[in-house]
Chains A and B, each alone.
Chain A
């Protein structure tokens, strides 16, 4: 047995040690019980910190990756379709009908099954830059089975509005922006329904060169929201609007 062979053996042992060490250390890494605190699955506490009332600087949280949120709308050339007044600008299906909204000088349409719908014809044909066109609906927000769709031919429909929940959402209906309504139509009538909101959608990506697009509100089980009023579809109050240009104001949370 030579010194050389002994050295070779030593090397083999060394490699074995390294292998064993590596294996054990690797297994130890796996058993680090501190665990990934940042699992990427945390949800924001719905209860605010409350610093707004306490800190001199307003108490806003300065997120390290601010979330860009829409805080308002800027639109040009609004046109309205008023329920019960502009009957020629919408069609009703499945027995849907315009009703009075108790206590208020406005009408509503409440869609309660999948057969019912109301379709508005929006004409943007004279708009030069059709990429910025948009619309708005005044809705009762907490409707579990609501749906808003668009179509160019009234056959192929794309859903653009549906019940949705999100940590940073200002509404629970999918849209581009929403805000609560307190004084509808500026008629001086103060509304008490806290679920009355106006929802805005951009339509530029859906409209074609003709500028004619159909906007349908209905009833769907597709995104039924268990936390909202079950068995009620889209519930439009008073009127919808459409705009030649719909843009947004932004802020960072």
Chain B
């Protein structure tokens, strides 16, 4: 009996200890969970507040943003939206597919053709990239399904071989990202299946049945954190990730041989990569592979669009968004692409500030701006253009034909088009109206793109003041409807006269219009348009070396001057020196980012690439830069900004009437206003001050501190919280974890840009917004507007192009579409985040003309014309100032020049990091922070500081103003209250703590009882035994 009781005591003891430990674990866990509650709300798709309707006026329609996809019973019709999304995605693909070559009209294939798909990538297409642009691709439409949709017969044996057999991923093949899980530490592997493995697995016997075409899918991936390598990749030839591997080259050769042996009728190559492949080895197959299509990155539903092109049901109408060259290293930006440490980094105790630097030494000459400008100078015999500097593939002098494979804007069709009746008129408002008639003169229906390029004069003034001019710049484009054979359409394209200005950082220190001849040209691509301009120049008597004029294929050409209209304009240093959006005076804002102008770099000077002397200025090595004391001081994140102090002082003076009797900002006032009541009021309406007075300091601090995939709810003004999700290619990833509904994973931004179809961009944007509306997501951390500065950018798939105009236009229309459905588009990364390797805090130097004309330009279009409500600050530095802490960028350019009324969020950050710092950021104009653990105490150290109180008030207003114009306000009227509550998972955690706590106490109680009981029993036993002994003794 005593033993049994001892056993129970032991059981209670064990249970008490176990539950006590569990209770402690869950108490600690709950504390951590609450610290990271913003992240968990995103993960579980919950919200920390609820909307309580006090009284509802049924006549007020509070569904401010409505869906077009609603069932008869009033529910969102997800099925119909998915169907619509897939159709839009498919059309994006067929309108973005670029036909690079098509020998003997090999394409389209006949309907019902039997085809064999080669490469591991053919069964594991690169549907997207990794990182924040990733998608849930578990249900992606594979190439076989896509082909079968368009009645192709696909070789099953080969398909099984690559998907589950000896050529599968399980067998170690495919495009993979191998790393430790750290975003910045991975290798992009390319393990293609060798021909002998294909042969040894008896799949070749299946070829004869599926021999109409062998289709090889060549894939390359990209992902946040690490740029692709020009040298050092373990698998590819020369270590160049964008070059073929030996195995790929061999398999292509084997397929060509099989075709020659009669095994296959045709060999087709599909390039499944957002990053432009190096064409040196691929072009070896120009004559032997029958056709080649760039298909980009199709997202989860785009592959049928490729199949539609292959069978001819759609005519390829995509145009290249990047220049394709024989050696990607020939781009001058490549010399300064992978960031390096300061030459004297060891002299400084940099600690957490230690980051590398990078110089955009190539200036404005990225992509076609370099290749085409150098080509023109070669033809004009100027600027030492044919010198050896920058020569990679040319045998002797620099030769366009030997360097460039396909120019920007290039793309073939199954039919032919003719342009006619080209005309350009200057309108009364100063803009230019371009008209051109496009006629389909072939025998198949199709769409054609009209591309308008501008050439500004390159003057002696430019040479003196370091201004560069690209030989051609895209300034307009339009796409026809589907034109039947012999059908025509006249396209009208408006070119903004602002596109004619040039930034002069040295002379007038503002935008100017230089005097000289401005040529407006159309062409099939950038190179074709330039040849037309050269023809016009020749006709105008300018001395050119016509023998050097070549077309896309290196054949002699004369160009066509009929497709050029020229205007003689006079110098104007006034008109463009003030912002057309705000009237703010425009002057230098980025001298600090230009080594030559910052005054901080001592004797160190950068030679920027100039068309005045290609030979003397082409970067020959990574620019070596040493840190100076002044530069080091600027690296500090925690600094006071005198400009903000001055702004605050002026604000307090101007707004004395709304301050309290001590001249301080009012908090927690009871003015009875709700955010929704501001809906139709402008940003500067006085009612805003009454509303902001209602907020407490803590509410403002939380709103301006924690912007992790959300903005915080504010009870005092009944502002709902928001859910803001990744990313630029679709908001599908988070939902896949818990929510059965999937949002569309869209084709890459490259594909969307390659459509050159702004109507399609806008429709896609609407669908994107619908996805968000249906999923109850208010904001999107995208689209991506950084540039394809080189071919190797990790996130080129998130960004549109090497061209700033195309990027700005495509993104603008997508934003207009998405925001019409209540989405808050947080375009990123503003600005100069055109690389990913060690992007956090890298000091990025560039001159002002380059920053403004190339890298800021698409953002300016996005904010001033697209109306994006928010933006994400780059995590890199501009010069030595973090972008979000850069007053000149955040306030002078973004707000004062461009009139942006929305808010800025930082990129991801945390307490453990020094970058993306709230102290400097909130002063500069970075309004909230992508940090889950930041809370209302973030600004405690500056509480009561009038400068920071001013900053938080202004930032709170910007956030509220933006959210007010989003779907977050759906269902809210002036009587709606925002009440803070626990989400279900928080209640579960509380419940578990209570249960475990009670269990611990209960078992402890039982243990005590058991011990007492055992002792009592033992005492009784002893007493009984003693009595018994006494009796026995008696």
Contacts and interface: CB of A to CB of B under 8 A. Distances in A.
A167 B987 CA distance: 40
Interface in B733-760: 757, 759-760
A188 interface: no
Contacts of B78: 64
A56 B309 CA distance: 13
B1006 A10 contact: yes
Interface in B754-788: 757, 759-760, 762-763, 766-767, 774-776
Interface stretch (A27-35, A89-97, A126-134): A27-35
Contacts of B4: 3
A40 B5 contact: no
A56 B482 contact: yes
Given A31-B982, A45-B66, A6 B1006 contact: yes
A205 interface: no
A1 B83 contact: no
Contacts of B759: 50, 53-54
Interface in B969-1017: 981-988, 990-991, 994-995, 998-999, 1002, 1006, 1009-1010, 1013
A50 B762 CA distance: 9
Interface stretch (B47-55, B187-195, B385-393, B941-949): B47-55
Nearest to B994: A20
Interface in A19-49: 20-21, 24-25, 27-29, 31-35, 37-49
B541 interface: no
A67 B80 CA distance: 13
Interface residues of B, number: 66
Given A6-B1009, A57-B87, A63-B80, A27 B987 contact: yes
B200 interface: no
Nearest to B991: A24
A21 B991 contact: yes
B47 A63 contact: no
A33 B71 contact: no
Contacts of B763: 49-51, 54-55
A20 B987 CA distance: 12
Given A42-B67, A42-B75, A9 B998 contact: no
B84 A29 contact: no
A147 to B, nearest CB: 23
Contacts of A29: 984
Contact of A33 (B79, B80, B983): B983
A118 to B, nearest CB: 34
A42 B760 contact: no
A241 to B, nearest CB: 31
Nearest to B44: A34
B999 A40 contact: no
Contacts of B74: 39-43
A28 B987 contact: yes
B314 interface: yes
Contacts of B1006: 6, 9-10
Nearest to B79: A64
Nearest to A48: B68
A42 B66 contact: yes
Interface in A187-236: none
B490 to A, nearest CB: 17
A33 B50 contact: yes
Contacts of B820: 47
A25 B991 contact: yes
A16 interface: yes
A17 to B, nearest CB: 5
A51 B70 CA distance: 17
B209 interface: no
A205 B45 CA distance: 52
B75 A28 contact: no
A35 B48 CA distance: 11
B110 interface: no
A3 B986 CA distance: 37
A65 B77 contact: yes
A73 interface: no
A132 to B, nearest CB: 27
Contacts of A6: 8, 1006, 1009-1010
A61 interface: yes
A38 B76 contact: yes
A45 B68 contact: yes
A43 B68 contact: no
Nearest to B62: A41
Given A49-B68, A63-B80, A42 B63 contact: yes
A13 interface: yes
B84 A49 contact: yes
Nearest to A25: B991
A188 to B, nearest CB: 32
A179 B1028 CA distance: 111
A18 B982 CA distance: 21
B1009 A40 contact: no
A42 B984 contact: no
Contact of B5 (A3, A43, A57, A67): A3
A43 B1002 contact: no
B684 to A, nearest CB: 28
B45 A46 contact: no
A38 B74 CA distance: 8
A54 B760 contact: yes
B470 interface: no
Contact of A28 (B73, B76, B776, B991): B991
Contacts of B762: 50
Given A28-B991, A33-B46, A33-B48, A38 B69 contact: no
Contacts of B63: 41-43
A34 B46 contact: yes
A10 B8 CA distance: 12
Nearest to B760: A54
Nearest to A50: B763
B814 to A, nearest CB: 13
Contacts of A37: 76, 774-776
Given A33-B49, A42-B75, A49-B68, A24 B987 contact: yes
A62 interface: yes
B928 interface: no
B972 to A, nearest CB: 12
Given A6-B1010, A28-B987, A56-B482, A42 B48 contact: no
A247 to B, nearest CB: 23
B335 interface: no
A28 B981 CA distance: 10
Contacts of B767: 49
A189 B985 CA distance: 70
Interface in B273-290: none
A149 to B, nearest CB: 28
A232 to B, nearest CB: 23
A61 B68 contact: yes
28 contacts: A1-B1009, A1-B1013, A3-B4, A10-B1002, A10-B1006, A24-B988, A28-B983, A28-B986, A31-B50, A31-B981, A31-B982, A31-B983, A33-B50, A34-B45, A34-B46, A34-B47, A35-B776, A37-B774, A37-B776, A39-B74, A41-B63, A42-B76, A45-B68, A54-B91, A54-B760, A61-B84, A64-B71, A64-B78
Among all A-B residue pairs, the 8 with the closest Cβ atoms: A28-B987, A24-B991, A33-B47, A45-B66, A64-B79, A38-B75, A28-B984, A40-B74
Interface of A: 1, 3, 6, 9-10, 13, 16-17, 20-21, 24-25, 27-29, 31-35, 37-51, 53-57, 59, 61-65, 67, 167
Given A25-B987, A37-B774, A39-B74, 18 more contacts: A1-B1013, A10-B1006, A17-B998, A21-B991, A31-B981, A33-B47, A34-B47, A37-B76, A37-B776, A42-B70, A43-B66, A45-B65, A45-B66, A55-B88, A61-B84, A62-B84, A64-B71, A65-B73
